[in-house]
């Protein structure tokens, strides 16, 4: 039972990071019907930028809590700017072009960011300073959970709840949903669709930057090409949950993390990755639009 619960904690931690990143994919897909392949690389970039900001603040600011909050806020702002620039330069000029052109442009942007990181920071891994988050570990009846894991879980959960209410309860959220259903109709209702798309990129990039910072602060080692692995997993999570569906991305991320942990724990870690794709295929066969995907199907 200890082992079961421990694997659940392991899975939920990495799963909530996947979920945060998956939200970026799913929100952009929702409004633009475009897979933003550069999103994973924005996540990697956020870890690097966060590290730079953190190193600047350490020594100047003594309170660790202040440093952490500042790093999250500044990184989210910078990555949002990158997200908006990405949309302006790589996607907006191609909005009327065939779908394939936009996909190629997205892949190009992904390579540009990835190699840009390598040129600036080099191919060797960069390492976050130890104990910026105090190294506290609790043993709850044989299940170990660290302060960092708890932070990842709680902050992710809060962000997802806030996002859910933002999309469903606010005017801007309603405009976002309207743009996702039909852009032309939304425009006729007086919604500034370009502004909505920009907002989507800002929110998606900010959530991704939180994910990237969690990766950096939890695992501590960051690589220029890690955006690819996390991006792929988050993308799979978004599809499992139903791409374009916000609660679906959250569910998909958690499910993927837990599924991976249980496969590694009870079957074989060698098979974890392969069986993840088996899960994806099985879900696609029985629910082509993902687990929570009906609403996507309805709006077409």
Which residues of the chain form contacts with another protein (CB under 8 A)?
3, 6-7, 10-11, 13-14, 124-125, 127, 130-131, 135, 137, 139, 144, 146, 149, 215, 219-221, 223, 226, 229, 260-266, 268-270, 272-273
Distance of closest approach, residue 300 Cβ to another protein, in angstroms: 36
The helix/strand/coil state of 138 is strand
Question: Is the CB of 6 or the CB of 56 nearer to another protein?
Answer: 6
| Token pair listed for 194 | 């370009």
**Contact indicator for 227, 236 with CB cutoff of 8 Å:** no
Question: Is the CB of 266 or the CB of 277 nearer to another protein?
Answer: 266
Burial of 280 (0-12, 13-18, 19+ CB in 10 A): middle
Distance of closest approach, residue 7 Cβ to another protein, in angstroms: 5
| Token pair listed for 126 | 């960069």
The helix/strand/coil state of 283 is helix
Question: Is the CB of 191 or the CB of 263 nearer to another protein?
Answer: 263
CA distance 258 to 12: 6
232 CB contacts (<8 Å, ≥6 apart)?
40
219: nearest Cα among 292, 119, 128: 128
The helix/strand/coil state of 61 is strand
Distance of closest approach, residue 258 Cβ to another protein, in angstroms: 10
Distance of closest approach, residue 104 Cβ to another protein, in angstroms: 26
Question: Is the CB of 102 or the CB of 226 nearer to another protein?
Answer: 226
Question: Is the CB of 84 or the CB of 272 nearer to another protein?
Answer: 272
CA distance 62 to 69: 13
Distance of closest approach, residue 3 Cβ to another protein, in angstroms: 5
Question: Is the CB of 208 or the CB of 242 nearer to another protein?
Answer: 208
Distance of closest approach, residue 15 Cβ to another protein, in angstroms: 10
Strand partners, 195: none
Entry field: residues in the chain: 300
Question: Is the CB of 87 or the CB of 114 nearer to another protein?
Answer: 114
CA distance 198 to 129: 34
The helix/strand/coil state of 223 is coil
Distance of closest approach, residue 280 Cβ to another protein, in angstroms: 17
The DSSP output letter for 35 is -
């Amino acid at each position: 039972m200890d082992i079961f619960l421990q694997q659940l904690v392991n899975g939920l931690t990495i799963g909530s990071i996947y979920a945060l990143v998956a939200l970026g994919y799913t929100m952009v897909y929702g409004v633009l019907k475009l897979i933003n392949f550069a999103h994973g690389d924005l996540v990697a970039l956020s870890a690097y930028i966060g590290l730079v900001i953190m190193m600047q603040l350490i020594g100047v600011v003594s309170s660790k809590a202040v440093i952490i909050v500042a790093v999250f806020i500044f990184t989210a702002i910078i990555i949002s700017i990158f997200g908006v620039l990405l949309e302006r330069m790589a996607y907006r000029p191609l909005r009327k072009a065939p779908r394939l052109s936009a996909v190629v442009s997205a892949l190009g942007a992904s390579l540009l960011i990835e190699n840009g990181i390598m040129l600036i920071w080099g191919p060797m891994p960069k390492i976050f300073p130890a104990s910026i988050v105090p190294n506290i570990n609790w043993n709850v009846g044989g299940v170990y959970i660290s302060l960092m894991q708890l932070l990842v879980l709680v902050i992710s959960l809060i962000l997802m709840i806030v996002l859910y209410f933002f999309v469903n309860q606010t005017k801007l959220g309603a405009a976002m949903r309207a743009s996702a259903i039909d852009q032309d109709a939304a425009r006729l209702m007086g919604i500034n669709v370009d502004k909505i798309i920009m907002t989507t990129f800002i929110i998606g990039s900010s959530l991704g930057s939180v994910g990237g910072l969690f990766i950096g602060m939890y695992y501590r080692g960051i690589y220029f090409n890690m955006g690819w692995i996390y991006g792929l997993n988050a993308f799979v999570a978004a599809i499992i949950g139903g791409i374009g569906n916000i609660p679906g991305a959250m569910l998909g991320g958690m499910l993927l993390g837990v599924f991976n942990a249980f496969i590694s724990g009870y079957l074989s870690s060698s098979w974890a990755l392969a069986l993840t794709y088996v899960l994806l295929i099985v879900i696609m066969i029985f629910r082509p639009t993902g687990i929570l995907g009906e609403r996507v199907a309805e709006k077409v």
